[in-house]
Structure formats: C-alpha cells, structure tokens
Amino acid sequence: MDVLYIGSGLSALQAKDEKYHDHIKVCLNNAWRIYEGGEFDYWIHPGDFPYENYPSNVHFRSEINHALYSQALHQAADRLGFGGLEGFELETQIGYTSFFQGLYWIMLTLAPQRIGLLGFDHDYNPDKTKKWREEGMPQICNNFLNKREGSMNEWANDYFKEYEQDAFYGHGTPDPLRFNDDYIEQYMQLALKNSQLLGVELVNYSQRFSPYNVFPRADADALSGKDK
C-alpha cells in the first residue's frame, strides 16, 4: 500500500494527477481543498484548527484529530526509542508541527510500504516569512495578534496582500517556521531515520524547489515500475 500525504504548498496541485489513483490519500489541514467536489481518505488536523476551514463539499473516510494521532504516538513510543516520554515532551521529540505528527500517525497506524509527499516543500515566500517573524509571528495561539477582521481567511488575505501566495489555496501563515531555521531539517532527518526503522519508504513526489532536500525525490510512476 502506498500513501499520498498532502500539505498546502504549491506542489499539492500535483495530487490531481491520475497517477496517484491507487494511493491512500491523506490531507493535512487545508489540503482537503485539493479534492473539493470529490473524495479522499483521511483528514488530519490539530485541535485548534479554525472551524471556518473545516472541509465542505468533499467526502472523506475518517477525521484524525490531535487526540487520535497523539494516542498513536504514545502507543508506539517504545518502537521509536522514546519510551517513557509523555504528552508535550514526546511530541517535541518527533517534531512539534502538524506535518511531523501526521507523518508519524501514517507510519505507525497505516503502516504503508511507501509515503509520497506533496505540498510539503516548506518553500514559503521569504519576504512574507520575514514580515511575519518581525511582527511577532501572528498565529492561532496569539489570536493572530488580536486581528480585527471577521475571519482568519480575511485576516490572512489582508495581512499578506502584498506578497505572492505560497499555498495552493491562497494565504496562510508559515507556521512551521516559528522555530529556528534548523528545526525543520533536524526533524526531517529524524523522520527519515525512523521511517527506515519502521520499514516505510519516505519520498518526496514534488517537482518544485525546496530549501530542504532530506527526503529522496522520486516519481510515483517510476516507483510503481520498480515494484513490478
């Protein structure tokens, strides 16, 4: 079994290609929008995901919230060498972003042969990221610095209106970059190591540039041919 794990980056648009028809499709946060009017398999999101952005006009098999994916992490902690850690401490060890926690849920619960990534290049607009960091990193936990707009989407479109979009659906915050610049790569390296421990092949299907090149690049068609 192969899984297609989809985020909100521009390479997520590749997920519309028919070549992924035989993959189990897992969407993180806003990535469900790729399948508007259609269907996919699993939707993963944290507990504070804005209700205004919940899926509509789309069908999916199961909703995986924070309680469910964190439970899977706790149950499998010993397999990953994190035995004895709980709660925030355990989640910090694997990467405290929805991308990493969703990735581990897939590896530990679905246990696929392969996970192909799309929309996870983390290729955020650098000018947009600079503004966001310099102005206190507005995000859910600080109420977007007391935004005045009626919705999060309205706020994001106004706050980033001068910048090129770096999500396929519009504007969002570069939230994973709230940590230091080495954070993403450090936990990608750990995820790759743990995927090998779990017997899961982890590859990036994206055809876009990424500042992070930890996960091997591969094409789904080429890999399918290799398996035969």
CA angle, residues 6, 163, 118, in degrees to nearest 5: 10
Distance CA 117, CA 99 (A): 10
Confidence of residue 228 (pLDDT cuts 50, 70, 90): very low
Reported pTM: 0.93
DSSP state letter for 3: E
DSSP reduced 3-state for 206: coil
Distance CA 55, CA 166 (A): 20
- Is 52 exposed, middle or buried (CB count within 10 Å of its CB: 0-12, 13-18, 19+)? exposed
Give per-residue pLDDT as tens, 58-87. 999 999 999 999 888 888 788 888 777 676
pLDDT value at residue 88: 73
Give per-residue pLDDT as tens, 136-176. 999 888 888 898 888 889 999 999 999 999 999 999 999 98
pLDDT value at residue 85: 67
